[in-house]
């Protein structure tokens, strides 16, 4: 076994091979490398426009963390509970990496209401992921900084996978 590191969230993974996806933030395996190759890009200068992109993304992530927590807590089905719980953890990791990149503290998570049946929560999850994919894809195109483009494109990729998963389950 050897240590690997996610080039997007910075989390570590010890195993024999690069996993299919980061177990923490969910980005594709191509963003995971030998731990020695990791470069810390946090604290880079960002334009005013890019800072706003990150702040907007953090709002979406914080709201999704709260929503998935509620959806997991009240899930009627155990598999659905697992799904909401893990996706909520991905979103929490996205919130953390965005806050780190911006050099700010993570915000308090304000609780959100969710409907108490799984089907309605699935539908809402689908809509939330759709919104995130569209927003992050635009940020990836419009951000001037190469590192920020990379972050948004990596997280747009995993939100797209969430979206596809909810399409299958709803």
Under rule CB under 5 A, residue 91 binds Fe ion: yes
Question: Minimum distance from CB of 6 to Fe ion (Å)?
Answer: 3
In the block, tokens 């719980």 appear at 85
Size, binding site for Fe ion by CB under 5 A: 9
List 94, 101, 126, 128, residue binding Fe ion (CB under 5 A): 94
Q: For Fe ion, what does the binding mask look like between residues 43 and 82, x meaning CB under 5 A?
A: ----------------------------------------
In this chain, which stretch among 4-12, 13-21, 33-41, 99-107 interacts with Fe ion, using CB under 5 A?
A: 4-12
DSSP track, the chain: -EEEEETTT--EEEESS--SB-TTT--BGGGEEEGGG----TT----HHHHHHHHHHHHHHHHHHHHHHHHHHT-SSHHHHHHHHHHHHHHHHHHHHHHHHHT-PPPPPPP----SSHHHHHHHHHHHHHHHHHHHHHHHHH--SHHHHHHHHHHHHHHHHHHHHHHHH-
Among 24, 53, 139, 163, binds Fe ion (CB under 5 A): 24
Q: Counting contacts by CB under 5 A, is residue 9 touching Fe ion?
A: yes
Among 4, 13, 21, 25, binds Fe ion (CB under 5 A): 25
Q: CA of 140: how far to CAs of 11, 37, 143, 152, in Å?
A: 22, 23, 6, 5
Based on CB atoms, which residue is closest to Fe ion, 91 or 118?
A: 91
**Could you say which of 4, 5, 21, 22 contacts Fe ion (CB under 5 A)?**
22
Q: Which residues bind Fe ion (CB under 5 A)?
A: 6, 8-9, 11, 22, 24-25, 91, 94
């Amino acid at each position: 076994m050897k240590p690997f590191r996610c080039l997007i969230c910075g989390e570590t993974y010890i195993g024999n091979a690069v996993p299919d996806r980061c177990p923490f933030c969910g980005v594709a395996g191509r963003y995971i490398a030998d731990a020695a190759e990791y470069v810390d890009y946090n604290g880079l200068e960002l334009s005013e426009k890019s800072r706003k992109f990150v702040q907007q993304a953090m709002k979406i992530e914080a709201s999704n963390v709260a929503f998935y927590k509620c959806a997991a807590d009240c899930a009627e089905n155990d598999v659905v509970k697992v799904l909401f719980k893990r996706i909520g953890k991905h979103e929490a990791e996205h919130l953390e990496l965005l806050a780190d990149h911006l050099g700010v503290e993570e915000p308090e998570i304000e609780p959100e209401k969710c409907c108490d049946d799984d089907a309605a929560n699935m539908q809402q999850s689908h809509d939330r992921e759709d919104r995130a994919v569209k927003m992050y894809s635009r940020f990836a195109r419009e951000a001037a900084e190469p590192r920020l483009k990379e972050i948004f494109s990596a997280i747009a990729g995993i939100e797209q996978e969430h979206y596809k998963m909810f399409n299958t389950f709803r």
